[in-house]
Amino acid sequence: MPVACNLDEAAVGPRSDCQQLLHMSPCHVGPHPSQWRRPWDPHARCGCEEGVGGRRQARAHQASTRSNATQAEMAVARIGLAGLAVMGQNLALNIAEKGFPISVYNRTTSKVDETVERAKAEGNLPLYGYHDPASFVNSIQKPRVVIMLVKAGAPVDQTIATLAAHLEQGDCIIDGGNEWYENTERREKAMEERGLLYLGMGVSGGEEGARNGPSLMPGGSFEAYKYIEDILLKVAAQVPDSGPCVTYIGKGGSGNFVKMVHNGIEYGDMQLISEAYDVLKSVGKLTNSELQQVFSEWNKGELLSFLIEITADIFSIKDDQGEGYLVDKVLDKTGMKGTGKWTVQQAAELSVAAPTIEASLDSRFLSGLKDERVEASKIFQGDFSSNLPVDKAQLIEDVRQALYASKICSYAQGMNIIKAKSMEKGWGLNLGELARIWKGGCIIRAIFLDRIKKAYDRNSDLANLLVDPEFAQEIMDRQAAWRRVVCLAINNGVSTPGMSASLAYFDSYRRDRLPANLVQAQRDYFGAHTYERVDIPGSYHTEWFKIARDLKN
């Protein structure tokens, strides 16, 4: 059943003069009134319907004319959205605010009512709520486009089944959740067999981004993308020097895959920032007030980003339920929803080194062992600090440089995962364009991304971000500070797995010879896995055990 202020009630035929005024309210924006109608609100009171008799007559007239109402009269929304948790609500309101009438549906009907009320309160936006899927689908103009924002996995399949029962050939479903890319490809194929189009669209930016402009990563049917390109271009975050933060990513599950790796990079970024905080607090003894000032200052330079900005904000917020700062009362256990784990799994499947992202995931696993860590701290008691004097100003500058250099490595790893998958699947992804659409709206948005875009614009076949001339120079300029920070942390018993992994990644990548020769010799010794030589072409096997035994004798 539709709720007040929806389009199912709109298809009831002729209205009274007061109904027509409600019906054609000029406060809505979007398509011309001839293309859509604002529904009659049955709770509105006006003179021509005053009293029981008038209301009965109106209802009788609605009933007699409802069967004659055409679907075209009912189809007044440009797009639909199913799934009204906070992200879904905010994206729907964003779409409506940009001038596109939208219908919304949720299995829990109270969420529908809540969204309709928000639309009224936030500017009487052209948003219409429905309590049943049939009315919801029929309210959308053909070819119909429905965005889903529901929990990944089985709930997506259930929602697709509910919607597809009412959709027609040529209609389109868009999954805007953090879904496993292979599920998207399976569903796209299944929908194609039914004559439906399908997109998997990554949406980044959290609640604020969804409402005011997210970064959008749609992949799948290009035809489906063209259906809603005009909507996405307006709804996405707008960056003055590079445009809307949306682009067609590519075929199949590429949109979901790119969003997954985006989240993996986000894991690395957050871990590195937390390590910078730990070194400054534990070794440098900075107060929360000083940390707020440091991060605020960092946000004016090369580290300018959403995550640095909100970190500075966090250090300024006092506890409203006790003494001190709120950050110190937050339990040191980091949650996760799976995209970071998927990223690391894909890196392993693709044989792409991603130690910074992996370290961030391991750190979340270790943070979850809170009770074990508390017990371990009782066993391993002692003073792990070096007790050497620390130049606070020098430490702050060194940590800034170490954080920046480590970030380059984290992004390089993420981009290499995307590049490897693109080559495997034949997606033809444009890494520079991905950096562009991450410049605004998303969680990892940063001024730094403009540099990455330019690096791939200079050389689209860049083997690794580290070897771009500008980034290579920046890392070389910062490596001394980077090493000082990692060594200082080790000497004071402070773990910096992300920074250490990033530095090890850089040191391994920059060396023309690694100790891998010994590992391969070991493999050939116990498993006859063969090896290659540096001086003679071909594959070789040596009877290491026999030779070693003879030498011992």
Tokens 């490809």 appear where? 185
DSSP classification of residue 446: B
Question: Rounded distance, CA 256 to CA 427, Å?
Answer: 13
* 259, 407, 419, 439: the active-site residue: 259
How far apart CA 387 and CA 120 sit, in angstroms, is: 61
Neighbours of 425 (CB within 10 A): 17
Return the sign of the alpha-carbon dihedral for residues 19, 25, 28, 30: positive
Rounded (10°) CA dihedral 25, 31, 32, 34: -90
Q: Could you tell me which of 305, 302, 209, 303 has the C-alpha nearest to residue 259?
A: 209
d(CA 323, CA 243): 45
CA 297 to chain centre: 26
Rounded to whole angstroms, the Cα distance separating 29 from 272 reads 44
Query: Can 375 be counted among the known catalytic residues?
Result: no
Give the whole-angstrom CA distance, residue 81 versus residue 330: 35
Judge whether 286 and 294 are in contact, CB under 8 Å: yes
* CA–CA separation, 103 and 80 (whole Å): 5
179 with 200: CB under 8 angstroms?
yes
In three-state secondary structure terms, 256 is helix
8 Å CB contact between 146 and 79: yes
Rg (CA), the chain: 29
Please report, as a single letter, which amino acid is at residue 541. Answer: H
User: One of 9, 185, 266, 358 is an active-site residue; which one?
Assistant: 266
Sequence-distant (≥ 6) Cβ neighbours of residue 144 within 8 angstroms: 80, 137, 167, 168, 171, 172
Tell which residue, 409, 120, 396, has the closest CA to residue 276: 396
Q: How far apart are CA 68 and CA 63, in angstroms?
A: 10
Return the structure tokens found at 97. Answer: 């605010």
Is 266 annotated as catalytic? yes
Q: What share of the chain is helix, strand, coil (3-state, %, to 5)?
A: 55, 10, 35
Catalytic residues: 259, 266
